[in-house]
Amino acid sequence: MSPQSLFPRKPTIRFYPEVEICPLCGAKLKVHKTQPTTVVTLDIGAFTAKETRLYCHCHDAVYSSSELRALAPERGTFGFDIIVHVGRALFVRSLGVQEVVDELRQRNISISKSEVAFLGKKFIAYLAHAHREAREDIRRGMRKRGGYILHVDGTCEGSSPNLFCGLDELSNLVLDSVKIPSEKRELLLPFFKRIKAQYGTPVALVHDMGGGILAAVEEVFPDAPDFICHFHFLRDIGKDLFGKEYKIILGRLKKHGIRTALRKRLRALEKKIEDDSRALPDFVSDFDMGAFETSSLSQVPAISAYALIQWIFDAPSDAAGYGFPFDNPHLAFFQRIKAAHGGLKRIMDIRLRDNFRDNKPLCRLWYLLDKVAGDKKLAGAAASMEEKIRVFDELRQALRIALPDGKDGINDDGINDDITTIESAVKAFRQRVMSDDRLTANTDFLGMIAQIDKYWHLLFADPITVQTPTGPIEIIPQRTNNILERFFRDLKQGCRKKTGASNLTKMLTSLLADTPLIANLKSEQYLNAILGNCKSLEQRFSQIDTALVREYLASQKSQPQKFAAKITPLIKQKNLPDALLQMFKQAKIWVNPDTPM
């Protein structure tokens, strides 16, 4: 039954203090004032709360209704149940603000988008206070597990502030978060000191190689085992090793304007083949059989050129989801341009039977690719980068993480090998590089070795023995900081789903610093810790001083394809140029590169 059915008109409900005698002096309380206010809850909808407040003249103490305070915050219109509903809808279910407005309207609750956005912030504020007040219970749970392993990392986008988080590996709980302009030592020190004060010294720390993080950790946790994330370590190695070649490749591709030119060719080819509804399906069918049998030969050059361009643009599909430098989409794009260019040249060299002459689409594509494939500076940078990638991939194999054939992306925590075995493999890799005169003649490879040597003592963690109430146990810290990478990915995906925006600069700027605590609500142990003796978040929030929530919110204000489906079987081919070449050979098609354009 809806509130609208129960209460066609807004009802009036009276509220009185639960005491009539002052508990401090025993005097009879007198009426201070009776004030009507509008309150909205999920169960009742909108109603008029007529509250009578009493006071003691002996010491000016004012007593209000605990029953009303359990329903809604003081001076607040919307009840705690609506605050929790909105918070879960926005941050757990990732609904958009308008979707929440529509959802509440179905329950006869009228609310604006700005009010929903504000209630979302109030939810974070209440959760942040409940989290801080429960830190002793959280710390008690840590002791039972032998302590905590602190992973720290930050994320930002565009000009947004850096959202920096600390997460416990053992419980998978966000312990604290802060928004800072950058990861400088002086900005990180208060964050680490606060974590130390609240949770003590961690069993170990895992993080990336940022100078500010290293300096702050050394100052606040000088005696704690400190380890560098193998994934971040490899990423920094790769960026330094062949980052300059990658910039050259990107710059040369932009200078040629090849992506724009290819997209223009795609549009022209679409117009050429769209009138023949059977041409593309027949071509794909013939491709599966390996010979042109049902295709209209007059459309073969256009569809072949179209498929090759789509295949070139599909270069990023080979990526494993690790990001640069593990994945190199611009290099892959150039490599496919070279492969398509070479395949087209071999196709155009076939001079067998002259059964069709209209080969302009293939010839035009070849000439378009020729200027890029013939760019010596671009080719030189690609060759140098390919050589460095081969060496880099050997290091990936030695570290047993982010392997070249892996497909887990940032979900990859590395092969679960003994750390001593991994250390030996990296040592063997180092020796191979240093014994190769050709590699040691290159200062970039020497820089890679110097970086390995510099961070060697932070890379390999032996098991750590800790004491628990049930006796000593061994803890092995994870080799990666990907637990936080995944956390940030999920956070951003939720923001994109909620806003529909691809760029999150504005969202991360307006996001409250404690928003990451939302992820903890998935943990039953965490819920038990913050609820205490309460049965629900609504009840727990009602026990938090509303003035503290208002102060918190005030302090936060200053912080800052037309044929894609049909063509997919072709563009997913690893060696499309070679496959097309074989089909052209069998069809005895004469393609003349000198055909007038």
Domain containing 209 — which CATH number? 3.30.420.10
Instruction: Verify that 77 and 103 share a domain, yes or no.
Output: yes
63 assigned to some structural domain:
yes
Query: Are 45 and 109 in contact, with CB atoms under 8 Å apart?
Result: yes
Instruction: Verify that 71 and 16 share a domain, yes or no.
Output: yes
What pairs with residue 78 in β-bridges? 40
Six-digit token pair at 257?
A: 């304007």
What band does 387 get if pLDDT is binned at 50, 70 and 90?
very high
Q: What is the pLDDT of residue 257?
A: 96
Q: How far apart are CA 550 and CA 562, in angstroms?
A: 53
Q: What is the pLDDT of residue 237?
A: 95
Residue 396 has pLDDT above 60, yes or no: yes
Query: Are 556 and 512 in contact, with CB atoms under 8 Å apart?
Result: yes
Question: pTM for the whole thing?
Answer: 0.76
- Full residue range of the structural domain in which residue 29 is found: 3-85+97-116
| Nearest residue to 366 via CA among 512, 496, 244, 261 | 261
| Mean of pLDDT values over 19-23 | 84
583 sits in which H/E element: helix 576-587
Q: Among 123-127, 384-388, 474-478, 485-489, whose mean pLDDT is lowest?
A: 474-478
Q: What is the mean pLDDT of the chain?
A: 87
155 sits in which H/E element: strand 149-155
Share of the chain above pLDDT 70, in %: 91
587 assigned to some structural domain:
no
Residue 234 has pLDDT above 70, yes or no: yes
Packed helices 329-348 and 300-313: angle between N→C axes, nearest 10 degrees: 160
215 assigned to some structural domain:
yes
Q: How far apart are CA 550 and CA 555, in angstroms?
A: 9
Instruction: Verify that 9 and 107 share a domain, yes or no.
Output: yes
Instruction: Verify that 134 and 208 share a domain, yes or no.
Output: yes
Q: What is the pLDDT of residue 410?
A: 62
What band does 595 get if pLDDT is binned at 50, 70 and 90?
very low
Six-digit token pair at 181?
A: 């302009």
Q: How far apart are CA 591 and CA 346, in angstroms?
A: 10
Q: Among 26-30, 286-290, 421-425, 555-559, whose mean pLDDT is lowest?
A: 555-559
Query: Are 141 and 172 in contact, with CB atoms under 8 Å apart?
Result: no
398 sits in which H/E element: helix 376-399
Q: How far apart are CA 453 and CA 441, in angstroms?
A: 18
**Angle ∠(114,510,87) on CA atoms, nearest 5:** 55
CA atoms within 13 A on the CB side of 398: 21
Q: What is the pLDDT of residue 597?
A: 40
Instruction: Verify that 143 and 187 share a domain, yes or no.
Output: yes
Six-digit token pair at 39?
A: 């309150």
Q: How far apart are CA 40 and CA 316, in angstroms?
A: 51
Phi, psi of 518 (to 5 degrees): -55, -40
Residue 159 carries which DSSP code? T
Of 544, 567, 582, which residue sits at a domain end? 544
Q: What is the pLDDT of residue 560?
A: 44
| Mean of pLDDT values over 532-557 | 91
Q: How far apart are CA 462 and CA 477, in angstroms?
A: 9
Q: Among 191-200, 396-405, 533-542, whose mean pLDDT is lowest?
A: 396-405
Q: What is the pLDDT of residue 354?
A: 44
What band does 358 get if pLDDT is binned at 50, 70 and 90?
low
280 assigned to some structural domain:
no
What pairs with residue 473 in β-bridges? 466
For 323-361, give the secondary structure using H, E and C. CCCCCCHHHHHHHHHHHHHHHHHHHHCCCCECCCCCCHH
Residue 6 has pLDDT above 70, yes or no: no
CA atoms within 13 A on the CB side of 60: 0
Query: Are 300 and 282 in contact, with CB atoms under 8 Å apart?
Result: no
Instruction: Verify that 109 and 147 share a domain, yes or no.
Output: no
Q: What is the pLDDT of residue 484?
A: 84
| Mean of pLDDT values over 451-467 | 85
What band does 205 get if pLDDT is binned at 50, 70 and 90?
very high
Packed helices 419-434 and 443-454: angle between N→C axes, nearest 10 degrees: 150
pLDDT tens per residue, range 47-101: 999 989 998 878 778 888 989 999 999 889 999 999 999 999 999 998 999 999 9
Instruction: Verify that 7 and 62 share a domain, yes or no.
Output: yes
Q: Among 152-161, 385-394, 446-455, 516-525, whose mean pLDDT is lowest?
A: 152-161
210 assigned to some structural domain:
yes
- Give Cβ neighbours of residue 557 (< 8 Å, ≥ 6 apart): none
Instruction: Verify that 77 and 141 share a domain, yes or no.
Output: no
183 assigned to some structural domain:
yes
355 assigned to some structural domain:
no
pLDDT tens per residue, range 262-313: 999 999 988 888 777 777 888 888 788 777 776 667 788 888 899 999 999 9
Instruction: Verify that 199 and 172 share a domain, yes or no.
Output: yes
Instruction: Verify that 187 and 216 share a domain, yes or no.
Output: yes
Instruction: Verify that 46 and 79 share a domain, yes or no.
Output: yes
Six-digit token pair at 320?
A: 């494993």
- Amino acid type, 273: I
What band does 454 get if pLDDT is binned at 50, 70 and 90?
very high
Name the region of 94 (left: φ>0; alpha: ψ -120 to 50; beta: rest). left
Instruction: Verify that 39 and 110 share a domain, yes or no.
Output: yes
382 assigned to some structural domain:
no
Residue 364 has pLDDT above 80, yes or no: yes
Q: Among 210-224, 311-325, 445-459, 540-554, whose mean pLDDT is lowest?
A: 311-325
Packed helices 419-434 and 376-399: angle between N→C axes, nearest 10 degrees: 140
Residue 596 has pLDDT above 50, yes or no: no
Q: How far apart are CA 591 and CA 597, in angstroms?
A: 13
Count: domains in the chain:
2
Peptide bond into 325 cis (omega under 30): yes
